Amino acid sequence: MVNNKGSASGLEWRVKMSDGSMEVLVPETSFLQRAGLRWGSVLLRLLFSFQNFFKKAWELGVDDPRKFIHCLKVGLALSVVSLFYYMRPLYDGVGGNAMWAVMTVVVVFEFTVGSTLYKCINRIVGTSLAGVLAIGVHWVASKSGEKFEPVILGASVFLLAISATFSRFIPTIKARFDYGAMIFILTFSLVSVSGYRVDKLFDLAQQRLSTIAIGTALCLLVSMLIWPVWAGKDLHDLIIRNMEKLADSIDGGIAEYFTDNSNTDDQDKKDSRQKLQGYKCILNSKATEDSLANFARWEPAHGNFGFRHPWTRYLKIGAMMRNCAYCVEALGCCMNSDIKANECTKKHLSEVCMKLSSHSSMVLKELVVVTKSMTKSTVIDFLVGQMNSTVEDLQTTIKSLPTQYSPPSTGLEAHDEDKEKKDNPIISPIIVPFVDVIPLVTLSSLLIEITIRIEKIVEAVDELSTMADFRAENEKKKNQLKQNQTNPDNENEKQSDQETMKTLQMV
């Protein structure tokens, strides 16, 4: 049964179903209305996508303004090099090959000075060497007659392309001259092949080489004179940041494990966990370190970094820190294990473990000061000695842990033991299951292993300070720490550690 009912907006159709209920019939929308709704939703999604894109781009520029400055530098270099096309006197000097200068700027202008220098020098050397060889091969081929000329040119392209391509697989050449080898193949092929149909090959090679030199020179001037970004400085800062994150992860992780954080806010817990996960950045930084060290070798002396600064030492420090970070990761897995440690045993080891992590963190933070200020430390040996002394305390504490491993007892021995407990109940031992001791023993062994790897980091930084001629530090800090170490008024080792930290902060 179908009924219609009037309303303010028009007619409303209802259908009475077999079960007695009424169903309202909704009129179908037209094709244009459906298309309009669909395109409207698409436009809204596009607007939201553009909004999110520009928001992320803005955050990226605010986080590192050097990237925005680099974009301005590239635009400036391209605008200047375009004058060789716009201005008639400059265009007459280089001819139609001015486009090679524009292409050179686009290809070789990189973010850091070192990477720009790397590409500029490789491009000039590769182009020059390939151009000279191509002209020589063309001269030999032209003297061989019309029949042998294409054969000699084709064979030379084949052999030199094979040799240059194979050289790119050699690690040393791949690290420093990979781009130059690719440019060599490109230039030699273009010049030798085009020279077969071009009469003035020498003029063509000279014009292209001059335009490439103009483009590379302009890139170097803009990159080095206008807010330069040095790859060596970035590598130096990256090692410092990673060392700070490693120190925070070691100290904060142990402190969180042995302290009660039930009253801490959720936001503080989240920030603390992010800080404790900082060691993961060290595990993923190898490729960045290798790239920055390779580019830093090409850079001239700048700031506190000399002409032959030992950039490879930074790679060794980074490798030592990664070894330590792997141990920190294993330490985190141990602390988050499903096997929970006995609270009594945990409390027994908490003080010495927290003390060891604190001393380890102090050693790394002192290395941060050494690397950042490029000065030799007078207290690093003292801090390492404190760390090793705490390791011995931890080993002694581990040996004193009670375990359940004991020889199987007979019934008579059990009867005597029960009688002894009744006579003197105070001396009854506390038996801790061995399974409950395993996590703490593993954690302690990992802490000891971390201290061994920290000593290797200390050795690597010491090698860097020797090779880079770090300046000597004032002896004031060392004398103050020695006085604190031999002060008879210190009641316990905890007070001595507090005075050590105060001394380091004052200096």
Distance, CA of 175 to CA of 221 (rounded, Å): 25
Distance, CA of 326 to CA of 145 (rounded, Å): 67
At residue 289, the pLDDT reads 92
Residue 201's identity, in one-letter code, is L
Residue 500 pLDDT greater than 50, yes or no: no
Centre a 10 Å sphere on the Cβ of residue 428 and count the other Cβ atoms it contains. Answer: 11
CB 251 within 8 A of CB 361: yes
At residue 205, the pLDDT reads 72
Q: What tokens appear for 147 in the block?
A: 């029949």
Distance, CA of 95 to CA of 71 (rounded, Å): 28
- Planar angle of CA 242, 331, 243, nearest 5 degrees: 10
Residue 361's identity, in one-letter code, is S
Per-residue HEC secondary structure of 172-238 comes to HHHHHHHHHHHHHHHHHHHHHHHCCCCCCHHHHHHHHHHHHHHHHHHHHHHHHHCCCCCHHHHHHHH
At residue 402, the pLDDT reads 59
Q: Please enumerate in sequence order all residues whose Cβ is within 8 A of that of 174, keeping only pairs 6 or more positions apart, or say none.
A: 168
At residue 418, the pLDDT reads 52
The predicted-structure confidence for 204-236, as pLDDT tens digits, reads as follows 777 778 888 888 999 999 999 999 999 999 999
The stretch 478-493 carries a mean pLDDT of 49
Q: What tokens appear for 493 in the block?
A: 């080792």
Distance, CA of 108 to CA of 128 (rounded, Å): 16
At residue 254, the pLDDT reads 81
Residue 443 pLDDT greater than 80, yes or no: yes
Residue 477 pLDDT greater than 70, yes or no: no
The predicted-structure confidence for 340-385, as pLDDT tens digits, reads as follows 766 777 787 888 888 898 899 999 999 999 999 899 888 898 999 9
**Smallest Cα–Cα separation from 442: which of 351, 362, 349?**
349
CB 176 within 8 A of CB 212: no
Q: Look at the chain and count its residues.
A: 507
Q: Please enumerate in sequence order all residues whose Cβ is within 8 A of that of 335, keeping only pairs 6 or more positions apart, or say none.
A: 253, 257, 443
**Smallest Cα–Cα separation from 109: which of 66, 58, 75, 155?**
75
Asked whether the CA dihedral 397, 401, 407, 409 is positive or negative, the reply is positive
CB 109 within 8 A of CB 95: no
- Angle between the 98-108 and 201-225 helix axes, to the nearest 10 degrees? 40
At residue 82, the pLDDT reads 84
Tell the residue number behind the tokens 């077969």, with chain if given.
196
Distance, CA of 507 to CA of 499 (rounded, Å): 12
Exposure b/e, 33-59, CB count within 10 A at least 16 = b: eeeeeeeeeeeeeeeeeeeeeeeeeee
Q: What percent of the chain has pLDDT over 70?
A: 72
**DSSP state, 11?**
E
Higher pLDDT, 84 or 134: 134
| Pairing mode, strands 375-376 and 471-472 | parallel
Determine what percent of the chain falls in helix, strand and coil, rounding each to the nearest 5.
75, 5, 20
CB 15 within 8 A of CB 22: yes
Q: Is 363 exposed, middle or buried (0-12, 13-18, 19+ CB in 10 A)?
A: buried
Q: Is 77 exposed, middle or buried (0-12, 13-18, 19+ CB in 10 A)?
A: buried
Band of residue 303 on the pLDDT scale cut at 50, 70, 90: confident
Q: What tokens appear for 369 in the block?
A: 């000061």
Q: What tokens appear for 364 in the block?
A: 């790394």
The predicted-structure confidence for 91-135, as pLDDT tens digits, reads as follows 666 666 677 888 889 999 999 999 999 999 999 999 889 888 888
Q: What tokens appear for 484 in the block?
A: 């604190």
Centre a 10 Å sphere on the Cβ of residue 406 and count the other Cβ atoms it contains. Answer: 8
Looking from the CA of 424 toward its CB, the CA atoms found within 13 Å total 6
Residue 239 pLDDT greater than 90, yes or no: yes
At residue 499, the pLDDT reads 47
Distance, CA of 387 to CA of 385 (rounded, Å): 5
The stretch 279-283 carries a mean pLDDT of 87
Q: Model-level pTM?
A: 0.76
